[in-house]
């Protein structure tokens, strides 16, 4: 409890952009997000006055941090599950709790649980030897998708393995490095979608519209809310499925269910139990953002309305260019605003590096094609200081 304000305090483990944007939402709720960050220059460290430096794999640091807050939550999945259990045993309120969070930390645990619940997942198996992968590939077809069960993000930790020979060249090295592995059948997908929900300890649930996430090289570059061209019954079914998963796993906070759309229907890719890139659009495009909803949920407040503020919202990620442009980011922002008065940029306070997510920009309105075009041009402009359509700033 913050004695000065009378509000309980939320502590977030991890100081990345999700914590930074959660802090922004916390301010409106009378809060100031407490952050356990590994460095003083992380995105959230730069904006929250209540930063403790410490590593999320260090149980002592986690305990010291937990002692300063009323509830502990996360901006990533990388806290060892046994540390979370130790905190719970100490009496710390941990949301989402370890029994839920493990399904977002470990892809094998998640696959087994969702399969047990009868939900649509690709064929999968644990890989503890080259033979495991080879017999899986022979049975389900090559290429097979090999994944690190823990620790991957943005496609790191995902390998398309096209033959037994390739498996023999890859698997022993990964196992020797201690990487737990699983194999999945390669899903022939039309596109990727995501269903975002929030759930409070009281059991209240809420969902946002199903969105389309456009990926390039394993990285999400654009999100369209709602996902265009999805029949009403299919999007409703996806929302109900996400709510059911949240209920079955007793998730507290927000959860993104990443989905593949196939000719035969939706297949679940993975779960994230925290605010997620696929929900950034909600800051500008929904009555309640995913960040506010996450805070409401972990504080056991009633959840907020998730209706949208425009027919379409399009978010584009701003990724660092291969070569940082000579024009400074301040001047790029100036020109962005000069061209688009309705651009909604969100910067993460990160230095620019090739492929790094440094910001996102959102547009909302009635005409999807023009919003997509604006978002694409604006994000590219912010990364590269080049207007792809030849627009002149002079």
Residues that bind ligand ADP (CB under 6 A): 122, 145, 147, 152-158, 184, 186-187, 192, 215, 218, 258, 269-270
Strand pairing of 158-161 and 211-216? unpaired
Could you please report the per-residue DSSP string of 265-282?
EEEEEEEE-S--GGGTTH
Distant-in-sequence, close-in-space partners of 16: CB < 8 Å, separation ≥ 6: 42, 43, 44, 75, 76, 348
Residue 311 to residue 306: CA distance in whole angstroms:
13
Q: Which of residues 157 and 226 has its CB atom nearest to ligand ADP in the complex? A: 157
Angle CA 265–157–220, to nearest 5:
55
Q: Which of residues 106 and 292 has its CB atom nearest to ligand ADP in the complex? A: 106
Q: Which of residues 23 and 107 has its CB atom nearest to ligand ADP in the complex? A: 107
Q: How far is CA 175 from CA 28, 108, 126, 274, 328, in A?
A: 47, 15, 12, 29, 44
**Shortest separation between residue 3's beta carbon and ligand ADP, angstroms:** 41
Q: Which of residues 10 and 144 has its CB atom nearest to ligand ADP in the complex? A: 144
Q: Which of residues 126 and 154 has its CB atom nearest to ligand ADP in the complex? A: 154
**Shortest separation between residue 186's beta carbon and ligand ADP, angstroms:** 4
Which two tokens mark 356? 């790094």
Q: Which of residues 278 and 286 has its CB atom nearest to ligand ADP in the complex? A: 278
Q: Which of residues 157 and 320 has its CB atom nearest to ligand ADP in the complex? A: 157
**Shortest separation between residue 269's beta carbon and ligand ADP, angstroms:** 5
**Shortest separation between residue 106's beta carbon and ligand ADP, angstroms:** 11
**Shortest separation between residue 129's beta carbon and ligand ADP, angstroms:** 20
Residue 199 to residue 298: CA distance in whole angstroms:
9
Asked whether the CA dihedral 40, 44, 48, 51 is positive or negative, the reply is negative
Q: Which of residues 155 and 355 has its CB atom nearest to ligand ADP in the complex? A: 155
**Shortest separation between residue 342's beta carbon and ligand ADP, angstroms:** 29
Residue 172 to residue 182: CA distance in whole angstroms:
13
The answer to whether the CB of 37 falls within 8 A of the CB of 55 is no
Residue sitting closest to ligand ADP (CB): 187
**Shortest separation between residue 189's beta carbon and ligand ADP, angstroms:** 6
**Shortest separation between residue 225's beta carbon and ligand ADP, angstroms:** 18
Burial group, residue 394, by CB count within 10 angstroms (0-12, 13-18, 19+): exposed
Which two tokens mark 345? 């940029």
Which two tokens mark 111? 């696959």
Distant-in-sequence, close-in-space partners of 14: CB < 8 Å, separation ≥ 6: 35, 36, 37, 44, 56, 74, 75, 76, 78
């Amino acid at each position: 409890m913050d004695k000065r304000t009378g509000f309980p305090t939320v502590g977030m483990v991890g100081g990345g952009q999700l914590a930074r944007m959660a802090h922004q939402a916390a301010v409106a709720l009378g809060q100031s997000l407490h952050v356990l960050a590994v460095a003083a220059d992380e995105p959230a460290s730069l904006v929250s006055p209540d930063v403790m430096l410490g590593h999320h794999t260090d149980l002592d640091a986690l305990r010291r941090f937990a002692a300063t807050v009323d509830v502990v939550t996360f901006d990533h999945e990388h806290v060892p599950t046994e540390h979370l259990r130790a905190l719970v045993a100490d009496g710390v309120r941990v949301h989402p709790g370890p029994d839920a969070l493990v399904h977002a930390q470990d892809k094998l645990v998640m696959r087994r649980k969702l399969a047990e619940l009868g939900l649509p997942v690709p064929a999968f198996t644990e890989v503890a030897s080259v033979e495991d992968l080879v017999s899986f590939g022979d049975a389900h077809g090559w290429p097979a998708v090999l994944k690190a069960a823990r620790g991957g993000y943005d496609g790191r930790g995902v390998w398309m393995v096209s033959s037994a020979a390739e498996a023999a060249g890859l698997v022993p090295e990964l196992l020797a490095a201690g990487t737990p592995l699983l194999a999945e059948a390669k899903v022939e997908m039309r596109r990727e979608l995501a269903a975002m929900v929030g759930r409070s300890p009281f059991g209240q649930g809420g969902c946002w519209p199903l969105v389309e996430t456009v990926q390039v090289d394993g990285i999400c570059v654009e999100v369209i809310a709602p996902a265009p061209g999805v029949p009403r019954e299919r999007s409703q079914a996806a929302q109900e499925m996400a709510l059911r998963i949240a209920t079955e796993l007793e998730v507290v906070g927000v959860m993104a269910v990443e989905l593949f759309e196939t000719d035969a229907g939706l297949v679940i890719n993975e779960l994230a139990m925290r605010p997620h890139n696929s929900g950034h659009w909600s800051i500008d495009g929904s009555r309640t953002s995913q960040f506010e909803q996450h805070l409401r949920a972990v504080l056991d407040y009633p959840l907020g309305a998730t209706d949208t503020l425009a027919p379409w919202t399009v978010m584009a990620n701003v990724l660092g260019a291969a070569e940082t442009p000579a024009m400074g980011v301040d001047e790029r922002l100036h020109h962005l605003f000069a061209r688009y008065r309705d651009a909604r940029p969100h910067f993460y306070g990160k230095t620019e590096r090739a492929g790094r997510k440094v910001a996102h920009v959102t547009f909302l309105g009635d005409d999807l094609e023009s919003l997509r075009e604006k978002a694409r041009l604006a994000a590219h402009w912010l990364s590269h200081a080049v207007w792809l359509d030849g627009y002149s700033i002079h």
